[in-house]
Amino acid sequence: MLKKSLKDAIQDRRSYYQIGDSSPISDEKIQSIIEFTVRHSPSAFNSQSARVVLLLGDNHLKIWGFVKDELKKISKSEEAFKASEEKINRSFLAGHGTLLFFEDQSVVKNLQAQFPSYKDNFPVWGEHSSAINQVLAWIALESEGLGASLQHYNLLIDKSVHQEWNINPEWKLVAQMPFGEIEGEPQEKSFEAIGNRVLVFK
């Protein structure tokens, strides 16, 4: 399915903040990619607690309208809000779609009841599961020529999201990923010496 090699897709995955509302692939193919990555993402105890909502068209626009509405309520000044609004309009709302990543808390609670000795670990492992889903989706979209970034406006927009799309109240919003056709290069990325991050013992 990947147009690029896995190595190249991982390397090229970046935070793209200049994206447009067009897409090099169809919405049906985008849906197929997300269904594929969700299905095959690993999770602790094969819990499969990750949930994803794909927003396209007017639904994509709505989510960023909710973000702007909530930011306006908490901004310290009109100038501060205008700066945030400009960033959202240019970098997120301007895209083709948005992925919403959730964790189903009912799955987590059931596992806690079944395996009480691991009770404190299941919420953490659930976050791991969601993170794996996020990065796999990000890499898969990148491989098809779509730029994306990962945002965290949860808590601010949780209520609006659940009400607008009638989302199960047990689904906890974790992150948002706006995506679209790449219209500008990402910022330069620096790397710490790999020897400080990877240890090998033979």
Cβ(16)–Cβ(184) below 8 Å = yes
The H-or-E segment that residue 16 falls in is none
Residue-range domain boundaries for the chain: 22-183
Give pLDDT tens digits along the chain (202 positions). 557 788 998 998 999 999 999 999 999 999 999 999 999 999 999 999 999 999 999 999 999 999 999 999 999 899 999 999 999 999 999 999 999 999 999 999 999 999 999 999 999 999 999 999 999 999 999 999 999 999 999 999 999 999 999 999 999 999 999 999 999 988 888 999 999 999 999 9
Decide: residue 153, CB within 10 A, 0-12 exposed, 13-18 middle, 19+ buried.
buried
- Using alpha carbons, select from 30, 28, 11 the residue that is nearest to residue 181: 30
Residue 128, C-beta contacts closer than 8 angstroms, at least 6 positions apart:
43, 44
Whole-model pTM?
A: 0.93
**The tokens of 125 are what?**
């492992």
Q: Give the fold, CATH level 3, of 22-183.
A: NADH Oxidase (3.40.109)
